[in-house]
Structures are given as structure tokens and as C-alpha cells.
Amino acid sequence: HNVMTVLTLPMARRQARAILDDFQPDLVVGTGGYASYPVVKEAARRGIPTAIHESNAVPGLTTKLLAKAADRVMVGFEDSRQHYPHPDRVVVTGTPVRRDFFDHTRKEARQALGFTDDRPVVLSYWGSLGAEVMNRYMADFLQAEAEEGCPFHHIHGAGRNYTWLTGELKARGVDLGEGAEVREYIYDMPLVMAAADLVVCRAGASTISELTAIAKPCILVPSPNVTNNHQEKNARVLEQHGAAVVLLEPECDGRSLYAQVKELLSDRERLSQMARNLSALSVTDAAEEIYQTLLALLR
């Protein structure tokens, strides 16, 4: 694979030149993926205004390389500025979050989901596809929850492990009753997240942006199976600001995760402080910030 990558680089440069010759752009923007490298690099060489946006707290290889040539580097957090060779070119714009994440108050969302009592709401999910190791932990988590009579409302998105997880709970004789719900996918994520008092999830860039935008206290278990370990680096930024609890996958299990959730839910002041810290990190008008940054480059 690496050999083929080296062999295709000259072709990529030729194609980038052809694209720029044909399209004649006034501005070129890359979003961190490796495919953006040849076009942004060639545009910078030609003196065309260039910008890159990095959603992760720490830049990946493509962003590191392009940061030396691009006119502007747009990042999600002030803490990210230190990782770039030209801090003066870095602009903290945040990462855009879908507008429907701001459509519901906590009270409205709870009512829409049919929660009529005072129990807190926990949301857990491991990305759109789920994660086998974490869903195995969730079997123990949900069993512990059922044993204690479901002290909080809980919606869990199992992804591709849905059939296994529901089957495992049935085999164990676990009755979740009305306290917990296991879904294959969470299609109404903005609504469910608005209702949540605590979110337990991975630490991808989009997830981090959503959590900070609507200030949801969270327990983050970063995926260890991503390039450059960027999920842990994302999570550590929130942790350093007192905005999240971080647990590493090899160092936790279902029962310890359940204990951590109970501990946080019992400390309302800490949850409130986490929410305030998340708000301090958020850029809720990220799309406008990016637009204005690019407009300034064009001028």
C-alpha cells in the first residue's frame, strides 16, 4: 500500500494541476483528509489563497504538511494553536454542528421521549456502527443497571452489535423494563442528546463538537483503533478543562463504567460545572466563523 502511494503521488500532482487549470478557483479549502493535499499544496504554490480546517484537537499528517503552506488553518480549540508551525495563521473557528442540535430544550426533549418522572437521562453510543468491545461492556453495564431497578433512564445505540447485545441480555435473563432502551440506531440523536443529563460515547471530532456546542457532560472512551490516536487527544482537551471524564477502553469494563455513571449523576454540582466548562470551549456559530475567515482571505 505504501509503495503504491509513492507511485501515485506524481499522478496526483498532475491531476491537481489539471483541476486548478480547468476550474480556476479564487480560493481553495481543504478539510484535513489526505485527498485534499495535492490540490491545496499546488494552489498554495501558485499563490491562490488557501485554507485548511482541522476538526481534531491535534493535527493529522496531511494538516501538518499543509499548515506550512496554507494561508489560514482553522481549528476547533484554542489549545490546538500550539501544534502548528505558524500560530499567527491559526484561527479558532470551531467545527460546524447541525442546527437541529439546538432545536430542543432538555424539558421539551424529555417530554417528547415520554419521560414523565425526575430520573436523569443517560445516552450511550459508540459511533454509528457501534464497537464490539464496548458493546460487550454494555451487556454488563445494562445487567448492573437492571439489578438496581434502572435508577436512571437510559438509551443505548448498539449499532451493528444490536442483535448480539439484545440476544445476550435475553440469555442472561436481564429485564430492562421501561428504564432502559437498546436501539440499533439512534435516528433522532439531536432530540435524545438534548434530553440527556450525561452522555457516554467515543471522542471523534464531530461528537466532541456536538457535546461542546450543547454543553452535555460526558464520559469519553476514545477508540484505540484510529489513526494518530486522535480520539484520545480530542478527549484529553476536554478533560484538561474539566469538561469530561476520560476512560481508556483497556482500563475499564461494564461494571466500572456503570459505577462512574452513577457517581457523576449523584454529583449535580460537578455536572453543572462540566456543562459550564463545555460552554466555555464551544464555538456555536462555527459555520459563520469559517465563512468570515474565508471571506477575509478572498478580500
Question: Residue 225 in contact with residue 231, Cβ under 8 Å?
Answer: no
Average pLDDT of the chain, as a whole number = 95
- What are the Cα distances from residue 75, in Å, to 19, 82, 99, 205, 209? 26, 11, 20, 11, 11
Asked if the model's pLDDT at residue 13 lies above 80, the reply is yes
* Average pLDDT estimate for 39-56: 97
Average pLDDT for residues 35-61, to the nearest whole number?
95
Percent of the chain with pLDDT over 90: 89
Which pLDDT value is given to residue 2? 82
In the structure grid, which three cell numbers stand for residue 164, read together?
A: 448480539
CA dihedral over 58, 62, 63, 65, signed as positive or negative: positive
pLDDT of residue 254: 97
Candidates 196, 195, 166, 198; CA nearest to 182 is 166
Rounded Cα distance between 257 and 133, Å, is: 13
Q: Is the dihedral of CA 233, 212, 151, 176 positive or negative?
A: negative
pLDDT at 228: 83
- DSSP class of residue 106 equals H
Q: Which three cell numbers stand for residue 298?
A: 478572498
Tally Cβ neighbours within 10 Å of residue 127.
16
Cell of 43: 494552489
Q: What is the pLDDT of residues 214-242, one digit of tens each?
A: 999 999 999 998 888 999 999 999 999 99
Per-residue pLDDT tens over the stretch 284-294:
899 999 999 99
Instruction: Look up the pTM and report it.
Output: 0.92
60 or 181, which is more confident? 181
Confidence (pLDDT) at 143? 97
Task: Tell me the torsion sign for CA atoms 291, 293, 298, 299.
Answer: positive
Region 195-217 average pLDDT = 96
CA distances from 109 to 122, 196, 224, 289, 298 (A): 13, 9, 32, 28, 41
Q: What is the pLDDT of residue 197?
A: 98
Mean pLDDT of 47-53: 98
Instruction: State the average pLDDT over residues 26-45.
Output: 93
Percent of the chain with pLDDT over 70: 99
Interval 69-128: pLDDT, tens: 999 999 999 999 999 999 999 999 999 999 999 999 999 999 999 999 999 999 999 986
How many residues are recorded in the chain? 299
Instruction: State the SS3 of 206-220.
Output: HHHHHHHHCCCCEEE
Tens-place pLDDT, residues 118-165: 999 999 999 866 689 999 999 999 999 999 999 999 999 999 999 999
Cα–Cα dist 270/293, whole Å: 36
